[in-house]
Amino acid sequence: MPGNARDTILSSLRRAPPGKVPDDPPAERVIDSSGLVDAFCTRFTAQTGIVHRVGSEREANAFLPEILKEHGIRRAISAPGLPGGPDIRPQTDFSGRRDFTEAIFNDADAGLTAADFGVAESGTIILSFNRDHARLISLAPEIHIAVLSAARIVPTFEDALSQSRYIDHPPSHLVFVTGPSMTADIQGRPFKGMHGPRKLILILTE
């Protein structure tokens, strides 16, 4: 019985004698002297991520069709609240999970989402998921386009995860994305797009 297993395991652990515990502080890391945004962009592009820096959100909207064209994207699915267009269907368009899943697996060349934060220390973007933002949008299509405001770039993971939005309302799912999906599992030959997106594109608004 599960109740029994729990109690047996915990009481067995509690009976163990104490051991020695060292008390070393967290290790210091080298502080990047270039600006926060530049440091972020350098590391983001080092992972083959593509950054487009634009002036404003409006500019991002105007720029989007160009990106779609450049990367040969005919159909995209977006999380609500993001720039739309004739080739971009918002997630809310789908009647249910089945419809959405079918479309995101089979019909979308790209997924368009917002990113919560950019993390300069590793060039990572943080995505969290909720009713307006399905998990598969940034995962199933070959291309993931994320939109991020430069004001949301922070130095470290701790700076991002200590924000009240995560503490007060922990999301059911949260992902650090550092570059596109990749593998080197056959003969050590690396390539992008193993299961997730092959390309990661970021529209960075100033």
Residues in 145-164 at the binding interface with another protein, rule: CB under 8 A: 157-158, 161
CB count in 10 Å sphere of residue 27? 5
Tell me the three-class secondary structure of 86-126, residue by residue: CCEEEHHHCCCHHHHHHHHHHCCCEEEEECCEEECCCCEEE
The verdict on 86 binding another protein (CB under 8 A) reads no
Residue with smaller CB distance to another protein, 61 or 178: 178
CB of 130 to another protein, least distance (A): 6
The verdict on 179 binding another protein (CB under 8 A) reads yes
Task: Identify residues 123-142 at the interface with another protein (CB under 8 A).
Answer: 123-124, 129-131, 134-136, 139-140
60 - beta bridge partners? none
CB of 166 to another protein, least distance (A): 9
CB count in 10 Å sphere of residue 144? 27
Q: Pick the binder of another protein from 17, 33, 164, 168 (CB under 8 A).
A: 17
Residue with smaller CB distance to another protein, 54 or 136: 136
Q: Pick the binder of another protein from 78, 91, 113, 205 (CB under 8 A).
A: 91
For 136, residues 6+ apart whose C-beta sits below 8 A from its C-beta are 100, 101, 104, 105, 111
